[in-house]
Chains A and B, each alone.
Chain A
Amino acid sequence: MSAHAIDASENAAPAARDRRPGLARLTKVELRKMVDTRSGFWLQLAVLGLTVLAVVITVLAGHDDDKTFRHVISNALQPAGILLPVVGILLVSSEWSQRTALVSFALVPERPRLLVAKLCAGVVLALVATVVAVALAALGTALASTDAPNVWSLPLGLLGQDVVYVVTAMVIGIGFGAALQSSAPAIVLYFALPVALAALGSIHALHGVIDWINSAEALEPLTTTVMSGHEWAQGLVALALWMGVPLAIGLWRLTRRDVG
């Protein structure tokens, strides 16, 4: 048995040992956790593959009017918008379903910090995914080289909305994972709730309300048009609801519940 493998007490300066892990380090660890499992790895690869596919299909099969940069981006972002929340859900729920919380919380007993690190990691991954999608869309648009007018026109506001679309999708996913602490119910609810709300929206009396709380409806314009003030108001209310409520429940359960 090698001597330095177990060094009790005497060694290592106490100051360095007792330094609390910083948020930047914890974020890096959470980013790593998103890609180093088999499911995480394949999910990222699926996002990349589907993004490429979305660009290729838009460029090959689309109408000439569809081959504008802003339109290709809109399509290229859909795989990330749909699948990254699942990555977010798994990042949190797997701590329970795979029981790694017993290891994670032993190393970081302040559990809210761990959730913040997961949110930071989620935002970083969402930004990376957006950049990749935009780059692929640019490549696709260039290769398609149509002579439609304003091929390359992209309002800055719309690009901003694209970023908001992917980042908030990720955050909502993390919220669902944190609130439900279980992978399958979180994924099912994440996809089923908007459908259920849309169904409710067909009830005449509820129609006006649903526009404000259904994320799918309220956020739909994010990647397609520069949103009006009214649309922003609806979008922000829906986002506050969809991000805020699950995260609040998640935080509450995280701090109250005994882990075991």
Chain B
Amino acid sequence: MIEAEKLTKRFGGRAVVDDVTFRCEPGTVTGFLGPNGAGKTTTMRMICGFSTPDAGRAGVLGGEYRRLPNPGRRVGVLLDASAQHGGRRGREALAISAQTMGVEEKRVDDLLGLVGLDRAAARKRVRQYSLGMRQRLGIANALIGEPEVLILDEPANGLDPEGMRWMRGLLRDFAERGGTVLLSSHLLHEVDAIADRLVIIGSGKIVAEGSKEELLSDAGTLVRADDGEALGRALAGAGLEAREAEGGGFLVDAEPRAVGVAAQGGGVALVHLAPAGDAGLEQLFFDLTTDNGEEGKR
């Protein structure tokens, strides 16, 4: 279990993480989604004790991460796939972690197999690794101690579609055995493919949270007509809140039934009327990205 309670972190007076509260329960894969600079990494580092919150608290397995006697055996952490010594061989990097947490070194070879790094790759120095290989090495590193909790920052970054399918299987399997997973991403489709719960963060604040179904059902209605202007007037006339959607039409904050009635009232012929679903989620995320675009990277 992972908990963040009113977590706040300020850098130079600006709150990069602002009153963030969420929970990750055992058996779930939670996707922590937000544009670059939204505060994902800072939040995860506070959870793992790398950075001290200015307010609020973060806990793992009911206590502070720093209080875990041998954290590697309880919580698997991948905070940055590039954070490995370039001059060390891949297998050796894992062997060091195994030795530190008191795990038999032969488990390293099992894990290399599990994450798909073959013998030749394991003998290479990490400097020669592609980003995808580093991610695989980092995930192996997180799994060495047979943890119950996984905290992974941007683990799908650099993975090809096949790699993403593989990770989905791996993490789902982990969750089904009672594990808790928190993974971050700045790409909706990555989280969409891997996670079953979403926590969406923008400008340091949680803007939406829930299972994918919950978020999709809240996403509103997508409606299109040949006569867009008339449709806009009809929606406004019925007092419905509507925004222009990506690719034409309107995203309306209402049930499809209410939208249909409004269109009928305005005498507008519709060509599309349906729950917004993915389009709504994309729009929500798109709004976040554009709002925060100027703040740039972390």
- Cβ of B290 within 8 Å of any chain A Cβ, yes or no, is no
Tell me which residues from 60 to 114 in chain B have a Cβ below 8 Å from any Cβ of chain A.
65-66, 68-74, 77, 79-80, 82-89, 92-93, 96-97, 99-102, 110-111, 113-114
| A38 contacts B87, C-beta separation under 8 Å | yes
Complex contacts, A25 vs chain B, CB 8 Å? 99-100, 102
| B170 contacts A106, C-beta separation under 8 Å | no
Tell me which residues from 92 to 114 in chain A have a Cβ below 8 Å from any Cβ of chain B.
94, 98-110
- How many A-B residue pairs lie within 8 Å, measured between CB atoms? 138
Task: Choose the segment among B46-54, B185-193, B244-252 that binds chain A (4+ C-beta atoms closer than 8 Å).
Answer: B46-54
Selected contact of B102 from candidates A7, A10, A21, A100, CB within 8 Å: A21
Task: Choose the segment among B157-165, B171-179, B206-214, B228-236 that binds chain A (4+ C-beta atoms closer than 8 Å).
Answer: B171-179
The smallest beta-carbon distance between A35 and chain B, in angstroms, is 10
| B65 contacts A109, C-beta separation under 8 Å | yes
| B88 contacts A36, C-beta separation under 8 Å | yes
| A258 contacts B79, C-beta separation under 8 Å | no
Complex contacts, B92 vs chain A, CB 8 Å? 36
Complex contacts, A100 vs chain B, CB 8 Å? 83-85
The smallest beta-carbon distance between A23 and chain B, in angstroms, is 12
What separation, in Å, do the CA atoms of A87 and B237 have in the docked complex?
75
What separation, in Å, do the CA atoms of A8 and B178 have in the docked complex?
6
The smallest beta-carbon distance between B55 and chain A, in angstroms, is 15
Task: Choose the segment among A26-34, A48-56, A156-164, A230-238 that binds chain B (4+ C-beta atoms closer than 8 Å).
Answer: A26-34
- Cβ of A150 within 8 Å of any chain B Cβ, yes or no, is no
What separation, in Å, do the CA atoms of A179 and B93 have in the docked complex?
25
- Cβ of A4 within 8 Å of any chain B Cβ, yes or no, is yes
| A29 contacts B100, C-beta separation under 8 Å | yes
Complex contacts, B147 vs chain A, CB 8 Å? 8
Complex contacts, B72 vs chain A, CB 8 Å? 106-107
| A1 contacts B97, C-beta separation under 8 Å | no
| A103 contacts B99, C-beta separation under 8 Å | no
Residue of B nearest to A95 (CB): B85
- Cβ of A188 within 8 Å of any chain B Cβ, yes or no, is no
| B174 contacts A36, C-beta separation under 8 Å | no
What separation, in Å, do the CA atoms of A107 and B179 have in the docked complex?
19
Complex contacts, A18 vs chain B, CB 8 Å? 68-70, 73-74
What separation, in Å, do the CA atoms of A2 and B170 have in the docked complex?
11
Most chain B CB within a 10 A radius of its CB, from A8, A21, A102, A109: A8
Selected contact of A109 from candidates B49, B101, B143, B174, CB within 8 Å: B49
| B99 contacts A29, C-beta separation under 8 Å | yes
| A19 contacts B99, C-beta separation under 8 Å | no
The smallest beta-carbon distance between B128 and chain A, in angstroms, is 11
Are A6 and B100 also in contact (CB < 8 A) when A18-B69, A259-B50 are?
no
The smallest beta-carbon distance between A25 and chain B, in angstroms, is 7
What separation, in Å, do the CA atoms of A25 and B65 have in the docked complex?
21
Complex contacts, A20 vs chain B, CB 8 Å? 69-70
| B85 contacts A29, C-beta separation under 8 Å | no
Complex contacts, A32 vs chain B, CB 8 Å? 96, 99
Complex contacts, A258 vs chain B, CB 8 Å? 45, 50-52
| B83 contacts A103, C-beta separation under 8 Å | yes
What separation, in Å, do the CA atoms of A11 and B102 have in the docked complex?
15
What separation, in Å, do the CA atoms of A8 and B272 have in the docked complex?
46
What separation, in Å, do the CA atoms of A257 and B49 have in the docked complex?
11
Tell me which residues from 36 to 71 in chain A have a Cβ below 8 Å from any Cβ of chain B.
36-40
Selected contact of B71 from candidates A5, A38, A106, CB within 8 Å: A106
What separation, in Å, do the CA atoms of A33 and B96 have in the docked complex?
8
- Cβ of B169 within 8 Å of any chain A Cβ, yes or no, is yes
- Cβ of A153 within 8 Å of any chain B Cβ, yes or no, is no
| B82 contacts A99, C-beta separation under 8 Å | yes
Residue of A nearest to B145 (CB): A17
- Cβ of A228 within 8 Å of any chain B Cβ, yes or no, is no
- Cβ of A229 within 8 Å of any chain B Cβ, yes or no, is no
Other A-B contacts than A11-B146, A18-B74, 12 sampled, CB-CB below 8 A, are A5-B143, A6-B170, A6-B174, A10-B178, A17-B73, A18-B70, A20-B70, A32-B99, A100-B85, A103-B84, A103-B93, A260-B45
Closest 7 CB pairs of A and B: A38-B87, A8-B179, A99-B83, A37-B87, A258-B51, A102-B83, A8-B177
What are 5 A-B interface contacts by the 8 Å CB criterion? A2-B114, A6-B143, A103-B83, A258-B51, A260-B45
